[in-house]
A = this chain, B = another copy of it.
Amino acid sequence: MENGLTHFDKEGNAVMVDVSGKNVTYRTALATGYIAVGPEIMACVTEGNVKKGDVLGVARVAGIMGVKKTSELIPMCHPLPIQKCAIDYELDQEKNRIHVLCTVKTEGKTGVEMEALTGVQVTLLTIYDMCKAIDKHMVMSEIHLIEKTGGKGGDFRFEEEQ
């Protein structure tokens, strides 16, 4: 397509793109995003790893399972054999933000960017769900790809100023 929207054919009809001619290469993707919570929730979540309920542990399991559901959720996404998936957190105690990082690896004909982003979103949603009884003013923001490697398009690294 001239306009760059590869997920449509010449008549503008949505298609699952033909990747059969592409090479199988190792591919990785890393995505991120955060949820801004109030100080009360931040305290609960931080202590959570100890004894009062492991919010981040439950959300991690949800995120990893969400990664495996990516091609069920995103219509034009190809199913891929996920070979690794990890969810990590960075807690910004000052701004009361929980940052989520999702790493995904595969060996395939197309990349795992959508898988990594889906992993971040499902993790964030699960944190929201588990804390919403305290306060519903949580906001999820700055969800984006950090980097990807592999594939004909080459590596990508997110540049803040773009």
From 124 to 161 in chain A, residues with beta carbon under 8 angstroms from any chain B beta carbon are: 124-126, 128-145, 148, 156, 158-159
Taking A61-B58, A73-B122 as contacts, is the C-beta distance between A12 and B80 under 8 angstroms? Answer: no
Contact A84 B137 (CB under 8 A): no
Could you say how many copies of this chain the assembly holds?
6
CA distance A16 to B37 in the complex (A): 22
What band does the interface of chain A fall in when counting residues whose beta carbon is under 8 Å from B? 35 or more
Q: Is the interface of A mostly helix, strand, loop or mixed?
A: mixed
Chain A contacts to B: CB under 8 angstroms: 1, 3-9, 12-20, 26, 33, 38, 40, 44, 47-48, 51-55, 57-58, 60-62, 64-69, 71-88, 105-109, 113-114, 117-118, 121-122, 124-126, 128-145, 148, 156, 158-159, 162
